[in-house]
């Protein structure tokens, strides 16, 4: 059996699995940079999982 709409489903799943998280990260960056005046380094640390948000502590 061949489902002719299988490729459309794969495209939808691919877009949902990569598109939604990417959209959330982009909105987070825009809000933090514009609305809260965070520096790009603080936002990058938040997105990448760095617990030192403001970078004032040295390792």
| 11, burial (CB in 10 Å: exposed 0-12, middle 13-18, buried 19+) | exposed
**Digit-coded pLDDT (tens) for 8-57:** 788 888 888 998 989 998 998 888 888 888 888 888 777 777 555 555 55
Q: Is residue 1 part of a domain?
A: no
Q: Is residue 31 part of a domain?
A: yes
What is the domain range of residue 40? 18-54
Q: Is residue 59 part of a domain?
A: no
Q: Is residue 44 part of a domain?
A: yes
The pLDDT of residue 54 is 54
Structure pTM?
0.57
The pLDDT of residue 58 is 46
Q: Is residue 13 part of a domain?
A: no
The pLDDT of residue 41 is 81
Q: How far apart are CA 40 and CA 42, in angstroms?
A: 5
Q: What are the DSSP E strand ranges found in the chain? A: none
How many domains are contained in the chain?
A: 1
């Amino acid at each position: 059996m061949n489902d002719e709409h299988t490729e459309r489903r794969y495209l939808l799943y691919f877009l949902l699995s990569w598109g939604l998280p990417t959209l959330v990260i982009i909105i987070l960056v825009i809000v933090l940079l514009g609305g809260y005046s965070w520096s790009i380094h603080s936002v990058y640390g938040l997105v990448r999982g760095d617990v030192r948000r403001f970078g004032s502590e040295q390792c």
